[in-house]
Structure 1
Amino acid sequence: MTTTLDPAIAARLKRDSAGLVAAVVQDDETGQVLMLGWMDDEALHRTLTTGRVTFWSRSRQEYWRKGDTSGHVQHVRGVALDCDGDALLVRVEQVGPACHTGTRSCFEAGGDLGAVVGTSAGETR
């Protein structure tokens, strides 16, 4: 598929070996990180021009829009590129849960790993 992503934007992206860039999705109102997805140039173009977040599914090898089957859509409020060009921050208005498990955030569903904040490696509390 030939992408119509603005060449100036495309030139700033640093893609992985599969041509993808990580896209961190954040609730625009609360700042909560909702999920991580992957975008190629076409998915980013669709996201920037349609107002709905589009990802590339690495497992299904196809494009998908959040909410097309669940109704839990993500309305784009802004997209930023990090300083290295290898990650996107997509700020959204999230309708319903973001995670396919039914939780607001995929990071709620994954659970806390129990890291102890403020200690050095090998130090115990």
Structure 2
Amino acid sequence: MVEDIKMNAFQEVEDYEYIYVELADGSQAKIKKSVLANLIRTEIKESFLQNNTEIIDDCNSLGTYENNGLYWINEDTKNAPPLTDYKLAFLFKLTSPGFYYQLCVEPYTNNRWYRWFSNYWSDWKKI
């Protein structure tokens, strides 16, 4: 009979070819690193913040952007909060159906604002 190895006794590695997984029916399988990377990439696109390098034109139209994520704004961006350092300000967009939340941060000044959308946009509020 094969003896189970406790997980805290597993060898630590920096690279691998396969990951072994347990399926919903309890059976075991292996996944190639490249396949696992694609699965994770797909999940991240849907559920985590993405770094989008484009500058948005209007904070009110952020709901039309496909991904949640970080978006850059500048002095020409409409409906932005009253920023003092537009060069590095970025906007977090978090969504769920019918609801948007925006958080704007100026990295050098640490000024922060937030607002939300549910039927209409709230005013920007300074944190």
Larger Rg: 2
> TM-score w.r.t. structure 2 length?
0.27
> TM-score w.r.t. structure 1 length?
0.27
Q: Could you say which structure has the greater relative contact order, defined with CA pairs below 8 angstroms and 6 or more residues apart?
A: 1
